[in-house]
A and B are shown apart, each in its own frame.
Chain A
């Protein structure tokens, strides 16, 4: 699984504005986390469960989308049929697992979609449009940019440890963690330093606005989605 803000927009089926994505993320999160299983709220939950599926399809992650749907269906079936028919420990276990999946799953996948489908420059642009100060936006975007680098570093440190058979020699888990963390931190410092120097020499600054080649703007789909998200939230709180 790739982490970090990235995109290849041209291959997407439809592309949303980062602000729309944010609205979806918040709405799905709230409704799934706190919604009840009855009445209007149950209908809203059903709608929210479908949202990540559509989003994942839109960036062509078909496999993940279908695995997600299967998982959600089996959770719903469990909640409907298995939980009422079991007792005691088993009942409790199934209830907890199903609860966690159905309450956190859709929100988590929406978050994953946001990270997968938004590029660094879209993110910066959208944050600027929402009048977030650069002093928050730029460090955040560097953070996202850093995750894949961290992954590369970690895997080569892991290899080095395997080759020196450190796992066998060092029994103390704290020493083991230290051995992983020290090289990672050293390389983090170095890369952060180089990256700042490179960005500065390319003219990135906190107090200036920039132009953007990425197209950001609320299109028809965005308006429809944002309005429906607002309607859903209002319904959720009124009823």
Chain B
């Protein structure tokens, strides 16, 4: 059905120092995918899996520029000879970022959009929207404003749009990177329905655990070519150790190991009092009368979408004036204004918090030591940057860096600001194994220099890598708060694994 013969794709990038370089996105690839197959593509960032996806949905060569050699055919017809419109009737796509894949603001209109473009009969489209909504159990999401939905709900709407169009081939590019475990479950249910309908499905993904029972084949890519290929049976036999060796995320959350690290944290506690906050629309509110968190450790904040995790994080940082709560920390009482001085958040989209023209200036901007001389400051900045593996980029514009590097620049600013509490909002969404471990290491270093770290996360592997304490939120209240050790690990497992591995 889909044939790649001797495909090479080369494109031009501007490096951070302004020079241009040719990069091979795909190198001499021969590959074929049969009708009804479910293929999982994985591998580190930049391994070429996104390009693979774009070659199938025609965005390469029709939208993204670069040099394409070799031949790709859909049902025997070369994608070069097909217009993107023709391809779009056969291939449906779900993209990584739920924020930027919708043309319409109204959900029903969006579900109809692709089918309308194909000039399908309006009555039939309406009927299909109804049927799809019923079969995906998303009647509640019909006729809503897209900006009111969570990331998970947006991805469901994107899938519903494909359900309405019902193409033969469906490609998905990291659809789960912004989703919690509940939403991933829904996604995997939808995928299994599509599979049973005989659709050909190609999915590029880092988080693999939800695909273990669905995949017919898994391709591990490296530098634009296939480095490993696993059939359905072999795939299920891969242990956690095997996947670590391959450099990919685990296939089974159950098998992730945890090495207990006793003795972390200090005896004193951070005490949260009266954290009550409600938004005007009454959603995502929190109500936390009292909460003790051991000082000097990494605290993970877990819970479903809408449980109030982000609200809690915003309140920790003092971003909501109306919150009357305070933190008792080292015999001080931190109200919202003090928390603005004492807390620093690494946002999910770090692009929103980088302002200056060079990495060095960026970190300088956060330096507080008023009595230090300019040179001392500069020296301190370089020291921080060196530790975070950014010594090559002092003069680089922050926006020219890769996602992970930007994140580390933001961390560097946090360290430079000397604030004792650092909050991360989903730092590992969309990260491969290597980068996830890198973030985990950076966070452990923060603890070593005496910071308190809070992390909102849905990433089980990441929690086991670096977290010491867990706060489980549900409906804005603390459902559970415990130290992570061999005994309590089952509680998180219960929350995260069992939900996702039912399929």
CB distance from B173 to the nearest CB of A (A): 10
- Chain A residues within an 8 Å CB radius of B345: 159-160, 163
- Contact string against B for A residues 183-213, beta-carbon threshold 8 Å, 1 for contact and 0 otherwise: 1001100110011111111111100111111
* Secondary structure type dominating chain A contacts: helix
Of the candidates A4, A148, A191, A202, the one whose C-beta lies within 8 Å of that of B103 is: A202
A57–B113 Cα distance when bound, in Å, is 30
A233–B321 Cα distance when bound, in Å, is 51
Task: Indicate whether A164 sits within 8 Å of B103 (C-beta atoms), given known contacts A198-B93, A198-B95.
Answer: no
Interface residues of B in 59-99 (CB under 8 A from A): 59, 62-64, 84-85, 87-89, 91, 93, 95, 97, 99
User: B365, A202: Cβ atoms under 8 Å?
Assistant: no
A172 in contact (CB, < 8 A): no
Of the candidates A169, A183, A198, A201, the one whose C-beta lies within 8 Å of that of B351 is: A183
A142 in contact (CB, < 8 A): yes
- Chain A residues within an 8 Å CB radius of B104: 119-121, 145
A66–B468 Cα distance when bound, in Å, is 55
B201 in contact (CB, < 8 A): no
- Contact string against A for B residues 316-355, beta-carbon threshold 8 Å, 1 for contact and 0 otherwise: 0101000000000000000000001101110101011111
User: A213, B58: Cβ atoms under 8 Å?
Assistant: no
- Contact string against B for A residues 146-188, beta-carbon threshold 8 Å, 1 for contact and 0 otherwise: 0011001100110111111110010000000011001100110
Segment of A5-13, A24-32, A73-81 engaged in the interface with chain B = A5-13
Task: Indicate whether A182 sits within 8 Å of B118 (C-beta atoms), given known contacts A145-B103, A213-B112.
Answer: no
- Chain B residues within an 8 Å CB radius of A212: 116, 122
Of the candidates B106, B351, B365, the one whose C-beta lies within 8 Å of that of A164 is: B365
Q: Chain A interface residue count: which class?
A: 35 or more
User: B116, A211: Cβ atoms under 8 Å?
Assistant: yes
User: B319, A208: Cβ atoms under 8 Å?
Assistant: no
A211–B417 Cα distance when bound, in Å, is 56
- Chain A residues within an 8 Å CB radius of B63: 196-197, 200
A209–B119 Cα distance when bound, in Å, is 8
User: A163, B103: Cβ atoms under 8 Å?
Assistant: no
B113 to chain A: closest residue by CB: A202
Please report the total number of B residues contacting A with Cβ < 8 Å.
65
User: B147, A200: Cβ atoms under 8 Å?
Assistant: no
Of the candidates B109, B114, B344, B351, the one whose C-beta lies within 8 Å of that of A202 is: B114
CB distance from A81 to the nearest CB of B (A): 37
User: A195, B101: Cβ atoms under 8 Å?
Assistant: yes
User: B103, A186: Cβ atoms under 8 Å?
Assistant: no
Task: Indicate whether A121 sits within 8 Å of B116 (C-beta atoms), given known contacts A198-B102, A200-B88, A213-B122.
Answer: yes
User: A186, B116: Cβ atoms under 8 Å?
Assistant: no
Of the candidates B88, B112, B317, B353, the one whose C-beta lies within 8 Å of that of A121 is: B112
CB distance from B340 to the nearest CB of A (A): 7
- Chain A residues within an 8 Å CB radius of B59: 197, 200-201
CB distance from A116 to the nearest CB of B (A): 11
- Chain B residues within an 8 Å CB radius of A144: 105
B137 in contact (CB, < 8 A): no
- Contact string against A for B residues 103-133, beta-carbon threshold 8 Å, 1 for contact and 0 otherwise: 1111011001111111111100110010000
B231 in contact (CB, < 8 A): no
Task: Indicate whether A194 sits within 8 Å of B97 (C-beta atoms), given known contacts A163-B345, A209-B119.
Answer: yes
B452 in contact (CB, < 8 A): no
Of the candidates B87, B103, B317, B399, the one whose C-beta lies within 8 Å of that of A195 is: B103
- Contact string against A for B residues 144-165, beta-carbon threshold 8 Å, 1 for contact and 0 otherwise: 1101000000000000010000
CB distance from B192 to the nearest CB of A (A): 23
A148 to chain B: closest residue by CB: B147
A184 to chain B: closest residue by CB: B352
A136 in contact (CB, < 8 A): no
CB distance from B399 to the nearest CB of A (A): 5
User: A164, B366: Cβ atoms under 8 Å?
Assistant: yes
B100 in contact (CB, < 8 A): yes
CB distance from B38 to the nearest CB of A (A): 20
CB distance from A28 to the nearest CB of B (A): 25
- Chain A residues within an 8 Å CB radius of B91: 201
A153 to chain B: closest residue by CB: B352
- Chain B residues within an 8 Å CB radius of A164: 344, 353, 365-366, 413, 417
User: B340, A211: Cβ atoms under 8 Å?
Assistant: no
CB distance from A62 to the nearest CB of B (A): 17
A121–B145 Cα distance when bound, in Å, is 13
A194–B126 Cα distance when bound, in Å, is 27
A153–B347 Cα distance when bound, in Å, is 12
Task: Indicate whether A201 sits within 8 Å of B341 (C-beta atoms), given known contacts A209-B119, A213-B112.
Answer: no
- Chain A residues within an 8 Å CB radius of B319: 159, 162-163
A119–B146 Cα distance when bound, in Å, is 12
A-B contacts, 12 listed (Cβ < 8 Å): A120-B104, A121-B106, A159-B314, A159-B352, A160-B345, A164-B366, A164-B417, A198-B95, A201-B93, A203-B84, A205-B84, A213-B129
Interface residues of B (CB under 8 A from A): 57-59, 62-64, 84-85, 87-89, 91, 93, 95, 97, 99-106, 108-109, 112-122, 125-126, 129, 143-145, 147, 161, 314, 317, 319, 340-341, 343-345, 347, 349, 351-356, 365-366, 399, 413, 417
Other A-B pairs, 13, CB within 8 Å; known A8-B106, A163-B344, A187-B352: A2-B145, A8-B144, A119-B109, A148-B105, A153-B352, A159-B345, A161-B355, A164-B365, A169-B365, A198-B100, A203-B117, A212-B122, A213-B122
